[in-house]
Amino acid sequence: MHHIVIVGGGFAGVWSAASAARVRGDAAIRITLVSPGTDLVLRPRLYEAEPERALVPLKRILEPVGVEHVQATVTEIDTAGRRVVTGDGEVLAYDRLVLATGSQLIRPQLPGAERVFDVDTLDGAVALRDHLRGRTGFTAVVVGAGFTGLEVATELAGRGRVILADRSAVVGPELGDGPRPAIEAALDRLGVERRLGTTVTEVKDGSVRWADGTWSEADAVIWTAGLRASPLTAHVEGPRDRLGRLEVDARLRVSPDVFAAGDTAAARLDAGHVTVQSCQYAVPMGRTAGHNAAADLLGLPLIDFAPGPYVTDIDLGGAGAVFTRGWDRRVESTGADGKLVKQWIMEKIHPPVDDAEEILNAAAYVYVVIPGAREL
Ligand SMILES: Cc1cc2nc3c(=O)[nH]c(=O)nc-3n(C[C@H](O)[C@H](O)[C@H](O)COP(=O)(O)OP(=O)(O)OC[C@H]3O[C@@H](n4cnc5c(N)ncnc54)[C@H](O)[C@@H]3O)c2cc1C
């Protein structure tokens, strides 16, 4: 019997599995998803006050559609021998592999790095929540004023003093000029302080040292700067981008037997753009890679990756959210309207559970148009 092995149980892995199961129908293809945890972790929700709400049990998605789950960490991929090896020594042979092991925060290398918190993983987010639980009047230093740093800083604002730091001279350096006035207005409104053009160089119990040698009080330091593709990408041959992502073709193929999806893969969208590490791409990439892995084994036509238009929606805590469309990030809504769209997105990223038909139908959609606040 043919075997599709999907490594990773995030958005890309789960939707690869559901999509492959949909294309398989009654055909004799075994589909196995390997991931260390028992849950799909909705990483975009980890900055919220209760990170456990970001969990969806994998068995409620995989079991109804006949996908096996091996709870393990893959430590080796042997593309020549078409097999993966887990940390427990289990060997899984595959006919088609989908690599969907996501990305991880680049942890800082500095004195006191062990005291630094993050919201990159469930464990990290829970540790931060527990550290600050029931406390007010604390000082939190959030390093990185990008998407995640802005969401963490604005979520914590109001409970304590928040200092948002970035090496760049502006907040949201990668978000461009479009949303910046709305972001700055929200930070002002929430009283989030900024330390720009600098970074933290040392963390002690209760304080941080800045690049200029001065110290500030800090009860918590939260690092959000810098994501890199999973180290497992190094086990697959092929060109990579500066984030360590494998370059894939329009069908999300790295090589004849290997597909990559989500944060492990860089897919070209047009002459000037490649996918951004985000769930808005991980979901349709997963659906496309899973579809193609199964279709290829069945001799059916493969599909090209065709995502919806690029959008961003940054949660700004008590100041709402800023929603943009297009690569120039034109602001479409701010404040409560932006938040309405954010809430819609946060609901939509929850996959259906328990009902096989609903899960398989959802796996068919590769193109989702995000409505504006007026349509909601
Ligand atoms: C705080 C935060 C906020 C975010 N906000 C947004 C947002 O608003 N909008 C947006 O679009 N994106 C957002 N993102 C980014 C988004 O979460 C990621 O792009 C998305 O999760 C990528 O999905 P993925 O399936 O590729 O990888 P992941 O979600 O990283 O999942 C990877 C999976 O692979 C598993 N895995 C890893 N290594 C191995 C191994 N060796 N063996 C087996 N399994 C392994 C992991 O356990 C996990 O199950 C945010 C991320 C964070 C951290």
Cβ contacts of 358-365, under 8 Å, gap ≥ 24: 359/18, 359/61, 359/64, 359/65, 360/18, 360/21, 360/22, 360/65, 362/18, 363/15, 363/18, 363/19, 363/21, 363/22, 363/287, 363/290, 364/19, 364/22, 364/287, 365/287
Please report the pLDDT score of residue 329 as a whole number. Answer: 96
Contact (CB, 8 A) for 171 and 184: yes
Mean pLDDT of 102-107: 96
Please report the pLDDT score of residue 136 as a whole number. Answer: 87
- Look up residue 41 and give its two tokens: 């972790």
What letter would DSSP give residue 95?
S
Torsion angles phi and psi, residue 236, rounded to 5: -115, 130
- pLDDT exceeds 70 at position 267: yes
C-alpha distances in Å from residue 267, one per residue of 47, 183, 230, 243, 259: 27, 29, 16, 13, 11
- Return the residue whose CA atom lies nearest to atom 46 of ligand 1: 8
Mean pLDDT across the chain = 96
Classify 107-223 by CATH class: alpha beta
C-beta of 43 in contact with ligand 1 (< 6 A): yes
Q: Kindly give the number of the ligand 1 atom that is closest to the alpha carbon of 34.
A: 43
Q: Kindly give the number of the ligand 1 atom that is closest to the alpha carbon of 232.
A: 41
Contact (CB, 8 A) for 162 and 195: no
Identify which has the larger pLDDT, 331 or 48.
Answer: 331
Please report the pLDDT score of residue 48 as a whole number. Answer: 87
Fold of 2-104+227-312: FAD/NAD(P)-binding domain (3.50.50)
Q: Mutate which of 16, 279, 323 to test ligand 1's pocket (most atoms within 8 Å of Cβ)?
A: 279
Mean pLDDT of 327-351: 96
Q: Kindly give the number of the ligand 1 atom that is closest to the alpha carbon of 9.
A: 49
Mean pLDDT of 60-79: 98
- Chain region(s) in the chain for CATH 3.50.50.60: 2-104+227-312, 107-223
Where residue 272 falls among pLDDT bands split at 50, 70, 90?
Answer: very high
Please report the pLDDT score of residue 366 as a whole number. Answer: 66
- Return the residue whose CA atom lies nearest to atom 7 of ligand 1: 44
